[in-house]
C-alpha cells in the first residue's frame, strides 16, 4: 500500500508545489529554453505518476511490473514474460482502462487543439489572402490597419504579418529585429508548445501546474524569440521597438493580459543576465529528465 501512496504524493507535489517553485525560479528567465523543457517535464511527470498511482490503486494485490509485462506479452510486444506469471484476462484489460485514460486524455486534447488551431489559421489565411498585400522585401504580408502589430502564423503555411501602423512607427532596423523575433517563433515551432500546455490545462482544469505551465510557456517562448532577435540586433533597438508598438495602439483600458509579461521581457532585454553555469544547467536538465522516470522506478522496483 506504500507504493500507491508514494505515487499519489509525488503526483500531488508535481501538480501543486513544483509549479509554484518553478514559476518563481530565478534561473528560468536566464535559460528560457531549459525552463520550457522543465515545464514539459513536469507535465509528463504528473501524467505518468497519476496513471501509475491509479493503476496501483485498482490493482493493489498484483505487482505493477507483472501487470505491465503481462499486458505487453498479451499484445505480443514482449517475449520475456516470466514463466508461470499471471495470464492476462479481460479483467486485466478493464483494469488498465483507467490509467490508460489518464494518458490518453491529454493526448486527445492535444490532437484536438492542434486541429482546431489549424482550422482557425486557415480561416485567418483565407481572409488575409483577400485583404493583405505581399511585401517580398520583408518576406511578410502587410495589413492595412492603423494600430501597430506584428504576428506570425506558424505551421505549414507559415507567414509573418505586419500592419501599416507598425511600418509607420518602426524604423527599418527595429522592424527587422521584430521580424527576426517572429521567425524564431515559426522555426522553433512554438505553436506546438502552446498547443501542448493548452491541451494539458483542458485535460486537467484547475490544476495549478496546468495554469502555471500555460502562462509561463507563453512568456518563456517570447523570451526565446527575444534572445534570437538579440543575436542580430542591439538591445536598444528591440526594446525601443516594443515601446513603439505598445504606444502606437488605440488605448484599451479594460484589457490586461500581456502587460506583466511585456514589462518582464523589456527589463530582461535591457539588462542582460548571464546564463546559468554549465554545471547548474546540466543538473537542471538531468532533473527534468529524471523526474518522469522516478515514478516508474518506484512502481517497478522491488
* Positions that interact with another protein (CB under 8 A): 113-114, 116-117, 120-121, 124, 126-131, 143-145, 147, 149-154, 161, 163, 178, 181-182, 185, 190-192, 194-195, 197-198, 214, 221, 236, 239-240, 242-243, 245-247, 249, 251-263, 266-267, 270-271
Do 49 and 15 meet the contact criterion of CB atoms below 8 Å apart? Answer: no
Minimal distance, residue 120 CB to another protein, in Å:
4
Minimal distance, residue 188 CB to another protein, in Å:
10
Minimal distance, residue 204 CB to another protein, in Å:
15
Minimal distance, residue 30 CB to another protein, in Å:
18
User: Burial letters for 108-146: b for 16+ Cβ neighbours within 10 Å, e otherwise?
Assistant: ebbeebbeebeeebeeebeebeeebeeeeeeebbbbeee
Q: Could you tell me which of 283, 292, 289, 258 has the C-alpha nearest to residue 25?
A: 283
Minimal distance, residue 15 CB to another protein, in Å:
20
State phi, psi for 273 to the nearest 5 degrees: -120, 145
- Of 157 and 287, CB closest to another protein: 157
Do 293 and 47 meet the contact criterion of CB atoms below 8 Å apart? Answer: no
Cell of 131: 485583404
- Of 119 and 277, CB closest to another protein: 119
Minimal distance, residue 45 CB to another protein, in Å:
21
Distance CA 18, CA 206 (A): 15
Distance CA 101, CA 49 (A): 13
- Of 44 and 242, CB closest to another protein: 242
- Of 96 and 105, CB closest to another protein: 105
- Of 96 and 195, CB closest to another protein: 195
Q: Could you tell me which of 128, 125, 165, 126 has the C-alpha nearest to residue 149?
A: 165
Minimal distance, residue 164 CB to another protein, in Å:
10
Do 198 and 173 meet the contact criterion of CB atoms below 8 Å apart? Answer: no
The 3-state DSSP class for residue 271 equals: coil
Distance CA 46, CA 275 (A): 28
Distance CA 140, CA 138 (A): 5
Written as one string, the DSSP assignment of 44-82 is HHHHHHHHHHHHHHHTTTS-HHHHHHHHHHHTTS-S-PP
- Of 30 and 265, CB closest to another protein: 265
What distance, in Å, lies between the first and last C-alpha atoms of the chain? 14
Minimal distance, residue 292 CB to another protein, in Å:
23
- Of 260 and 289, CB closest to another protein: 260
- Of 30 and 159, CB closest to another protein: 159
Amino acid at each position: 500500500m506504500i507504493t500507491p501512496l508514494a505515487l499519489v504524493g509525488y503526483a500531488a507535489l508535481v501538480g501543486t508545489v513544483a509549479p509554484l517553485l518553478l514559476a518563481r525560479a530565478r534561473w528560468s528567465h536566464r535559460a528560457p529554453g531549459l525552463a520550457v523543457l522543465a515545464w514539459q517535464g513536469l507535465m509528463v511527470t504528473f501524467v505518468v505518476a497519476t496513471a501509475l498511482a491509479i493503476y496501483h490503486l485498482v490493482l493493489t494485490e498484483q505487482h505493477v511490473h507483472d501487470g505491465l509485462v503481462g499486458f505487453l506479452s498479451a499484445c505480443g510486444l514482449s517475449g520475456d514474460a516470466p514463466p508461470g506469471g499471471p495470464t492476462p484476462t479481460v479483467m486485466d484489460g478493464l483494469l488498465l482502462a483507467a490509467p490508460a485514460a489518464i494518458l490518453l486524455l491529454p493526448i486527445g486534447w492535444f490532437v484536438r487543439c492542434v486541429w482546431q488551431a489549424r482550422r482557425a489559421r486557415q480561416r485567418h489565411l483565407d481572409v488575409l489572402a483577400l485583404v493583405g498585400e505581399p511585401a517580398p522585401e520583408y518576406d511578410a504580408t502587410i495589413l492595412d490597419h492603423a494600430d501597430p502589430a506584428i504576428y506570425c502564423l506558424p505551421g505549414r503555411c507559415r507567414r509573418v504579418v505586419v500592419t501599416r501602423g507598425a511600418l509607420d512607427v518602426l524604423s527599418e532596423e527595429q522592424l527587422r529585429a521584430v521580424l527576426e523575433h517572429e521567425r524564431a517563433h515559426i522555426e522553433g515551432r512554438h505553436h506546438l508548445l502552446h498547443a501542448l500546455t493548452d491541451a494539458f490545462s483542458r485535460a486537467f482544469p484547475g490544476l495549478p501546474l496546468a495554469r502555471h505551465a500555460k502562462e509561463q510557456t507563453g512568456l518563456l517562448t517570447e523570451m526565446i524569440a527575444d534572445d534570437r532577435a538579440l543575436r542580430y540586433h542591439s538591445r536598444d533597438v528591440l526594446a525601443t521597438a516594443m515601446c513603439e508598438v505598445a504606444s502606437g495602439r488605440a488605448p484599451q483600458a479594460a484589457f490586461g493580459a500581456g502587460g506583466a509579461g511585456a514589462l518582464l521581457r523589456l527589463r530582461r532585454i535591457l539588462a542582460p543576465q548571464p546564463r546559468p553555469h554549465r554545471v547548474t544547467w546540466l543538473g537542471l536538465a538531468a532533473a527534468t529528465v529524471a523526474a518522469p522516470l522516478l515514478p516508474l522506478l518506484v512502481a517497478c522496483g522491488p
